[in-house]
Amino acid sequence: MAEDSDLEKTEQATPKRIEKAREEGDVPRSKELATVSVLLTVLLAMWASGNHLTQALKTNMAAGLTLPRNLVFEPTLLLVNIAQHLGDLLWAFLPLIGLVLLVAIASPVLLGGWLFSAKALIPKFGKLNPISGIKRLFSKNAAMEFFKAIAKATLVGTVAFFVVSAEIDEVMALPLQPLHEGIKQVVYLIIITMLSIAGALVLIAAIDVPFQLWSYANKLKMTKQDIRQESKETEGNPEIKARVRQQQREMARRRMMSEIPNADVVVTNPTHYAVAIKYRNDSMRAPVVVAKGADAIALKIREVAAEHNVSVLEAPKLARALFAHTELGDAIPEALYAAVAEVLAYIYQMRVFNKDGGLRPVQPAALEVPDALDPHSEAGMTGAAA
């Protein structure tokens, strides 16, 4: 059952899946939105340039109904005259035609944005398979498009019928009207009809746009297995990543252990923490932590220090503060300068004593470590919680 649930497309598409679909030319589109955009553009353009278009129609109709005597006997001149009238009419309507073409090209990008995909131009010979074609004809998407087309045709046809029925008297009276009045009446009837149809198409587009977005999101849904596979491809196999991180930690630990022989002292808790400190007066502003660890790693640090004769000093509070507030390669906090300086002074004195003898140095017993830096103190735990 778990395997079946993993194969069901229940997960929303990831950004990578959406981007891949766009690369393949698959974006949400609404034909109804493009149609209503073109129709509204035509209406606005006709409203803005109605007088100009009306005058152009009137002039060309009058010129077309007037036939000079010399053109009757010269077919060539007659054709030239007809072409000239058609050219004038085309020139008058050219801005409207250009605007409609521009909107027709641009309107599809209103939903889904501008996209050019070379992959979409590659022929897919699998679409030539008649069996696949039959399946597409009877698919859920094809059925939805079929019912949508019927609903659209019914709605538009109904609206057009009622508009024409309401204006039937004006339509029947057109032949009896003067030319100028007739043209104005025709333009008025066209605008009223288109405006009513546009209203119906706006309603259809308002339904179709959310449906196309939902359908597109539903089509791109992924299974849980797809999500896991994409995660592996994007971020790598979790098992391999865990192995790489383990190897990186081991390499970092080996590098850290290789620095211990260069340390001046290892401060311990004595068993839970160990921090190795190095200080070079000529090149360092302050002592630096070169190794640190807890429990098993702390034990290993003490063993390596013993092998290379690095001094080990038991100072629990200082060890805890250094472990909690420093990282490898960091200088010690300023609040611990005095305590660490006291430890280093003791170590240097011990080196002189071991080499030349004399009065044995006294091991520091009460180091100045602020309670706020000790994670085991009440002040330190309060600061960590804050």
List pLDDT tens digits, range 81-130.
Answer: 677 777 777 787 787 788 888 887 777 777 765 665 555 555 555 555 56
Q: What percent of the chain has pLDDT above 90?
A: 8
Spell out the residues 6+ positions from residue 15 whose beta carbon is closer than 8 angstroms to its own.
none
Per-residue pLDDT tens digits for 308-367: 999 899 988 999 999 989 888 889 889 999 999 999 998 899 888 888 887 888 888 788
The 3-class SS string of 15-78 reads: HHHHHHHHHCCCCCCCHHHHHHHHHHHHHHHHHHCHHHHHHHHHHHHHHHCCCCHHHHCCHHHH
The three-state secondary structure class of 167 is: coil
Task: Report the pLDDT value the prediction gives residue 266, as an integer from 0 to 100.
Answer: 92
- Helix, strand or coil, per DSSP, at residue 114: coil
pLDDT at 123 (0 to 100):
57
In this structure, what DSSP letter does residue 110 have? G
- Candidates 252, 341, 336; CA nearest to 290 is 252
> Which of 73-82, 92-101, 145-154, 285-294 bottoms out in mean pLDDT, i.e. has the lowest?
73-82
Contact 321, 373 (CB under 8 A): yes
- 268: β partners: 274, 314
Sequence-separated (6 or more) residues with CB below 8 Å from residue 41: 99, 100, 103
Does residue 342 contact residue 364 with C-beta atoms inside 8 Å? yes
**307/299 Cα distance (integer angstroms):** 12
* Sheet containing strand 311-314, strands side by side: 288-294, 273-278, 265-268, 311-314
Q: In the predicted model, is pLDDT for residue 284 greater than 90?
A: no
> What is the SS3 assignment for 271?
coil
Kind plus residue range of the DSSP H or E element containing 303: helix 296-307
According to the model, what pLDDT value does residue 382 have?
A: 52
Q: What's the pLDDT tens digit per position in 210-268?
A: 888 888 888 888 888 877 777 776 666 667 777 877 887 888 788 888 988 999 999 99
Nearest in space to 332 (alpha carbons), one of 241, 380, 263, 255: 263
Q: What's the pLDDT at 128? A: 56
pLDDT score recorded for residue 278:
92
Residue with tokens 């698919």: 139
CA angle 34, 37, 40 (to 5 degrees): 150
- Tell me the C-alpha distance between 384 and 265, whole Å: 27
Q: Whole-number mean pLDDT of the chain?
A: 78
Query: In angstroms, rounded to a whole number, what is the distance separating the alpha carbons of residues 335 and 209?
Result: 65
